[in-house]
A and B are shown apart, each in its own frame.
Chain A
């Protein structure tokens, strides 16, 4: 177990303390992320309750096929992430790397589709700002909807990019043999982060894409 002891940082007494500290720390960090996204969710909720019709009409301009596809990709990536953590726990290095890679691919796929959607919206003049055009009712508040759409999905995408970079770093570490069945803390923490980002999308998708779709 000597190589395990070498991986306990100086300030900790033992590996258990280290692991528990990291876990508590990550959970608290996720709580801060909840508050961060929460501000935007609150703003969205306030405006949606004030202007339900135009928010419904705007939501229908989003591509529900792509949105659903993205949801599927992201949920699957959470599965592959969970499999990666499991592989780490079992000490299976190749599976770990494989599943991390799969997570990256799925995440990148999500981002690709997202940016394609953004491009589509740009073509349709639905990007808030000077070029915004919305035929029909209440274009002012439609712009509000799209402001929230871009701000919230954009912030979410940023978090995904960070997550993908983290996965990349983990792959490098894993290939260098840094993780063992006893020590795979960073993989677990990254998993928590990734699941959180997934959950944010699970809220974003119905709120943005599924308004007035009956």
Chain B
């Protein structure tokens, strides 16, 4: 929702129902803020006063519904309290000659009432919030995976088909997208207000988030976990396109796919020496392993997933497969997070999915 105000000139109006704020000339092509004097408007954008963010994902409507429910409840109670205070203050203000009021100091019934009602309301809010939360957190099985590495102070995006981006993320409308994210250094957070989702990107592990865009457009991307000097500059755009346009965009580059890049790394770093098919006695086979349980030397069983692969590359002694000697060297410091993601993509591709397509 936007409130047009009667004053102010020279600001372009945004299209569509909501305010995305990106169709203005003062941002550079990647969404960064240009320094003063480089073609940006210096006047305050008085003609636009956004009050509500654009709604552009499937989950945004549910989050907003919760939000409005909370506003209604809050408005009710705040008004009630404000009103009672005002009313009592006036009605029972001190006046000379007024007889002493009856002193009412306890009422079990009242205490139970105004304990019980908030309890009911909060239980309802909890349940409603939890339900939407579980949907926010559980990506659908057919979500399109895209890899993201956050580092001070930029977002690097890797599409499985090969295209890479910096501070921009192109996605198709109407298709769930799952971001698999790692940090190269400190904690960051990938936040898209128009989608109502965010997720911390934590060094040392993979975190994931998913969303499905409902309409095309450009939306703010913010880093929203303080990460150092240029934290405010770690911003960008999420660009949602019609599926056909998205396919065209994807095809428009000659970048290597992560699977191919990973295959090259697998060879370059001599992983083949122990993990290729005919050298199975040195290292466990990787074909068909992804997504399946692995029995460790300690007797524990873990899942052969992204985090397991990453840990094995960086700290191979931590989780040794049963029946193998602890001879795998560590690659800590030799591979950055993007390269690790490429290796994982390659290793994943060695395990065909049920439908015959490579794993997402």
Contact = CB atoms under 8 A, between A and B. Distances in A.
A54 B315 CA distance: 12
Contacts of A51: 318
A72 interface: no
B298 A137 contact: no
A93 interface: no
Interface of A is mostly: helix
A137 B324 CA distance: 13
A136 B298 contact: no
Contacts of A141: 315, 318
Interface in A57-75: none
Interface string B54-70: 00000000000000000
B298 A138 contact: no
Contact of B315 (A52, A136, A140): A140
A211 to B, nearest CB: 13
Interface of B: 297-298, 315, 317-318, 320, 326, 332
B297 A53 contact: yes
Interface of B is mostly: loop
Nearest to B332: A140
Nearest to B326: A137
B172 to A, nearest CB: 39
Interface of A: 51-54, 136-141
Given A136-B326, A137-B326, A54 B298 contact: no
A194 to B, nearest CB: 40
Given A53-B298, A137-B318, A140-B318, 12 more contacts: A51-B318, A52-B298, A54-B317, A54-B318, A136-B326, A137-B317, A137-B326, A139-B317, A140-B315, A140-B332, A141-B315, A141-B318
Contacts of B326: 136-137
Contacts of A139: 317
5 contacts: A137-B320, A138-B317, A138-B318, A140-B318, A140-B332
A51 B320 CA distance: 12
A157 to B, nearest CB: 30
Contacts of B298: 52-53
Nearest to B297: A53
Nearest to A134: B317
Contacts of A52: 298
Contacts of B317: 54, 136-139
A212 B51 CA distance: 61
Contacts of A140: 315, 318, 332
Contacts of B318: 51, 54, 137-138, 140-141
A53 B318 CA distance: 8
B145 to A, nearest CB: 27
Nearest to A56: B298
Nearest to A51: B318
The residue in B298, B318, B320 that gathers the most chain A C-beta atoms within 10 A of its C-beta is B318
The 10 A-B pairs at the shortest CB distance, nearest first, are namely: A138-B317, A137-B317, A138-B318, A137-B326, A140-B315, A53-B298, A141-B318, A51-B318, A138-B315, A52-B298
A51 to B, nearest CB: 6
A113 to B, nearest CB: 31
A133 to B, nearest CB: 14
Contacts of A138: 315, 317-318
A77 B28 CA distance: 72
A212 to B, nearest CB: 11
A176 B315 CA distance: 61
